[in-house]
Amino acid sequence: MVIEQQVTEAVINGVRQLYGADVAPGSIQLQKTKKEFTGHLTLVVFPFLRSSKKSPEQTAREIGEYLTANEPAVATFNVIKGFLNLTIAAPCWIELLNDIHRQDDYGYTPAAESSPLVMIEYSSPNTNKPLHLGHIRNNLLGYSLAEIMKANGKKVVKTNIVNDRGVHICKSMLAWQKWGNGATPELTGKKGDHLIGDFYVLFDKHYKQELKELEARGLTKEEAESQSLLMAETREMLRQWEAGDPEVRRLWETMNSWVYAGFDETYQMMGVDFDKIYYESQTYLEGKKEVLRGTDKGVFSRRKDGSVWADLTADGLDEKLLLRADGTSVYMTQDIGTAKLRFDDYPIDKMIYVVGNEQNYHFQVLSILLDKLGFAFGKGLVHFSYGMVELPEGKMKSREGTVVDADDLMDEMINTAREISQELGKLDEMTPQEAADIARIVGLGSLKYFILKVDPRKNMTFNPQESIDFNGNTGPFIQYTYARIRSVLRKAAEQGITIPSQLPASSPLTAKEENLIQLLAAFATTVQEAGEQCSPALVANYAYELVKEYNQFYHDFPILREEDTVVKTLRLTLSANVAKVVKSAMSLLGIEMPERM
């Protein structure tokens, strides 16, 4: 914010003039004045008491007198204990609004040739089931984080690692072989990922029944699991896959192709995409190669059964399996290979993994292992650890078929948005296509906003009904405010009113308008903080605060009915920039904004 910079420089000069002391810009604490006090910016004066050798109140008063005499931006001041509340002169707010008005992409920093490259991994689906509610939070966080990094001037590569091999994949394959009867997406009318997910659930059903029968014969749970024929067949299929068995590979490729087609539909509806997709089936061999290299160098050790382990006890952790006794790899093996390939493919300056907090230990280990293998990037990996998302009914389990599919949830959100919008009369006088588009924008906007407004590090409960509310801290409230502003601007254009490229410095301002301009200006620092903290929630809640403030202004002050042309032009300019910034903020969350509602 330019005004804050001006005031900061003036305070530095003031402390030097008044007390003969030099202070660093970082020691100057300026914050927005609390609503119960008069002023725009508040300066904390306690850091200057050592130099002034006076009371907090007297120091604040002397600095306030200096600023009003020497800094044109400061009109008046008042002192509350050790806090100096500054009122900024009206022409400064007009100048700031003009500056925001001139920039179509206000708050964004364009990437330069020398900008650092950030790779962000998100989604990471398994090809044995469709995407679910947990994946929705992952994808929305990853995509939004990528957009926020771009807005902060970073080069960004959005990447995905598809877990397309392993025991869990073979479970679906074996179930299809045994009980599929040649089922295909075309024959069943099901999306491919949903069809394969059904077979994953079916495998678990038969497996549990087998264990139950074995335990009924007197076996313990552990003995029954070790003697399971189904699990033995699954492991054998994995060994055949890793050996390149043609028949197993053909089935794997066919079933995966069904899943990928389904994933693509889901990603498109969700509004997320990727610049580069890696597949575990292509990276695990690289990982095995690195593990074997580490074994040869004594970094890892091989046990009598042939399995390979990393001893991390010296790092305060435990021993970690890297290759099973039969030579098959584990997740960690794949992640080592994927990391190496990514840094071979791109000049990455920062690698961010968007993965739930249940994997905190996994990424702690991955970082250590890569470092032990001699990769310079090992210690610099960032795990963006986020909390779990649940429904009001509680936790979900994929293998038991109790997971809420992403497709089903998005469809439900769109249908609910349509029903509520119709009840409120917001779809009146729209064509069926326009109404369908609004329902989609509002439904998905509700879902995205409700999830992204929460601090990503916290666990959360997603309540579909709460999210679609046209009042309060919700996506529809923000979308409706935006549509309302766009309606005002269209009516102004119909009346032949044009918004000038610049407002005169003498334009009169109310306190509410000054506060709105101050909030608009805060977008730039909000984007910066969201990038530094990896928190889309900062952007989401900023958008809500801005539209909440605008709605109060809209109800209290006339815009098109204002008779004073200068005032009307100012309010239209202010409204247009609120709409612009709100749309920019919501785009960072991957949320579309409707032109009418």
Is CATH 1.10.730.10 correct for 406-587? yes
DSSP state of 417: H
Confidence (pLDDT) at 402: 53
C-alpha–C-alpha distance, residues 358 and 193, integer Å = 24
Give the fold, CATH level 3, of 122-390. Answer: Rossmann fold (3.40.50)
Percent of residues in the chain assigned helix, strand, coil, to nearest 5:
60, 10, 30
Confidence (pLDDT) at 288: 94
CATH of domain 2-88: 3.30.1360.70
DSSP secondary structure, 137-200, as one string? HHHHHHHHHHHHHHHBT-EEEEEEEEB--SHHHHHHHHHHHHH-TT--HHHHT--HHHHHHHHH
C-alpha–C-alpha distance, residues 548 and 536, integer Å = 19
Per-residue confidence of the chain (597 residues) as pLDDT tens digits?
579 999 999 999 999 999 999 988 888 999 999 989 999 999 999 999 999 999 999 999 999 999 999 999 999 999 998 899 999 999 999 999 999 999 999 999 999 999 999 999 999 999 999 999 999 999 999 999 999 999 999 999 999 999 999 899 999 999 999 999 999 999 999 999 999 999 999 999 999 999 999 999 999 999 999 999 999 999 999 999 989 999 999 999 999 999 999 999 999 999 999 999 999 999 999 999 999 999 999 999 999 999 999 999 999 999 999 999 988 888 899 999 999 999 999 999 999 999 999 999 999 999 999 999 999 999 999 999 999 988 776 544 444 445 688 999 999 999 999 998 888 888 888 899 999 999 999 999 999 999 999 999 999 998 888 898 888 999 999 999 999 999 999 999 999 999 999 999 999 999 999 999 999 999 999 999 999 999 999 999 999 999 999 999 999 999 999 999 999 999 999 999 999 999 999 999 999 999 998
Domain ranges of the chain: 2-88, 122-390, 406-587
Distance of CA 280 to the CA centre of its chain: 24
* 122-390 and 406-587 share one fold: no
